[in-house]
Homo-oligomer: A and B are copies of this chain.
Amino acid sequence: MNERIVKVGLVGFGTIGSGVAKLILEDGDSIAKRIGVRLELACVVDIDTTTPRPVKLPDGILTNNLDRLLNDDSIEIGIELIGGTTIAKEVLIKMLQAGKDVVSANKALLAEHGNELYSIARQNNKCIAFEASCAGGIPLISTIRGGLTANNITAMYGIVNGTCNYILSNMTACDEDFSVALEQAQKKGYAELDPTLDINGSDSAHKLAILASIAFGCEINLEDVYCEGIEQISRDDIRNGNEMGYCLKLLAIAQKDKQNNVTLRVHPSFISKENHLSRVGGPFNAISIFGSAVGQILLYGRGAGMMPTASAVVADIIDVALGNSKTTFQNLSIRSKSEAGISIETIDNQICRFYIRIMCQDKPGVFAQLSKVLAEHNISISGLLQHEGIGPDNTVPVVIVTHQTLQKNITAALEDMEKLEGIGGKPACIRIVDIPEDKD
């Protein structure tokens, strides 16, 4: 086969950048055999040209001069692996304007400025491919846009942040406190020194915004996504939930009903231990997608890490090199919400079941008051758990599981509960998500 050579330039020589360089340099032969195109790494741009990386570049490739990439017309594809939303945005736009197709793994950038960037790409007759922005090595975006394209996608339930899943899995398995599990995740390299964006749910929200915009064919802003993190999760709640048949996961959820009302939310979620997602452990990601024709599809794999993410970036580079990304991007129809007829439902109007833990003083009448508050807000009790034995401050945890309830009713009830005498502090409240299982 007559190999075509496609030159690529990479900006951002961190962990993922090193993985991409490694794949192109070390597996270039076998990739060329498989696809008939040879990828040539023409330059790697980074402000830091001295720190050793886990891959050895050929001499003269590493530079701190972006213009070398921009001005070299033989470079067809620019790879943005800088991260962040400021310099990365500038670089991405410059690459498009210099006539390069672009591959990016930057979920924050695409979630916040995707529409603007897509439009600049279209003006320049170029494309942006961004498989690696969501769930690392799992081919999620190509599945939604490709394999499931004949489907009306009605729901997605995903574990899309490996850091949170690692922490929650360890808290569950070892009955550990959040802080201990976080430290462990940092030691293992699964959490950054500043883990804020992961543990507060922002990273999952970024990914959900990107995935939902593709699945529903409509512009999604970050503000459309309700977001709660895992910082406040107590191991007591994980243990109680476990006893009641639930497993705690940080879920990113997108749902579209028949009236095209869309709900988008990221929050800690109790799910049935029988659900496939409950078995997704450690730093792994998985997502259940529901399509009108296909039913349920589940994809599982590594959502982060050097080589899994590089696998997705290089798959995108190949897709661009073969010309497929251009077609896909040209046909990527992301309309405004009004054009798509879609409205976003606020969290207040969402309905689910709730797990509530209230620290009650061990004296007569406290539970009667609690029950009264619930009744006043039209909340029906589905399950109760109170173990015998009293804590050091003369309080006992009472766990209430509700039937399907409107969020705003729960919010109001929790406020009223806090004011009751005999209640120790703010009740803990975790949503129970009943993921439908496609059964025979």
Q: Which 9 A-B pairs have the closest CB atoms?
A: A139-B147, A150-B314, A282-B440, A293-B311, A137-B294, A298-B300, A294-B311, A297-B301, A293-B307
Smallest CB–CB gap between A16 and chain B, Å?
A: 12
Residues of A within 8 A of B (CB): 1, 19, 23, 27, 30-31, 33-37, 131, 137-139, 142-143, 146-152, 166, 188, 190, 217, 276, 279, 281-284, 286, 291-302, 305, 307-308, 310-312, 314-315, 318-319, 322-324, 327-328, 330-331, 333, 438-440
A294 CB contact (under 8 Å) in B149, B301, B324: B301
Smallest CB–CB gap between A68 and chain B, Å?
A: 25
Smallest CB–CB gap between A327 and chain B, Å?
A: 5
Contact call B315/A322, Cβ cutoff below 8 A: no
A selection of 16 A-B contacts at a CB cut-off of 8 Å is A27-B150, A30-B152, A34-B149, A34-B217, A35-B149, A37-B331, A137-B293, A139-B143, A146-B315, A150-B310, A166-B440, A282-B439, A291-B311, A295-B308, A302-B438, A323-B327
Smallest CB–CB gap between A305 and chain B, Å?
A: 8
Q: A147-B312, A148-B311, A166-B440 are in contact. List 5 more A-B contacts (CB 8 A).
A: A137-B291, A286-B298, A293-B307, A293-B308, A295-B301
A300 CB contact (under 8 Å) in B31, B300, B323: B300
Contact call B333/A33, Cβ cutoff below 8 A: yes
A333 CB contact (under 8 Å) in B35, B283, B307: B35
B residues in contact with A305, CB < 8 Å = 295
Smallest CB–CB gap between A153 and chain B, Å?
A: 10
Contact call B328/A324, Cβ cutoff below 8 A: yes
Contact call B302/A299, Cβ cutoff below 8 A: no
Contact call A146/B142, Cβ cutoff below 8 A: yes
Contact call A27/B295, Cβ cutoff below 8 A: no
B residues in contact with A324, CB < 8 Å = 324, 327-328
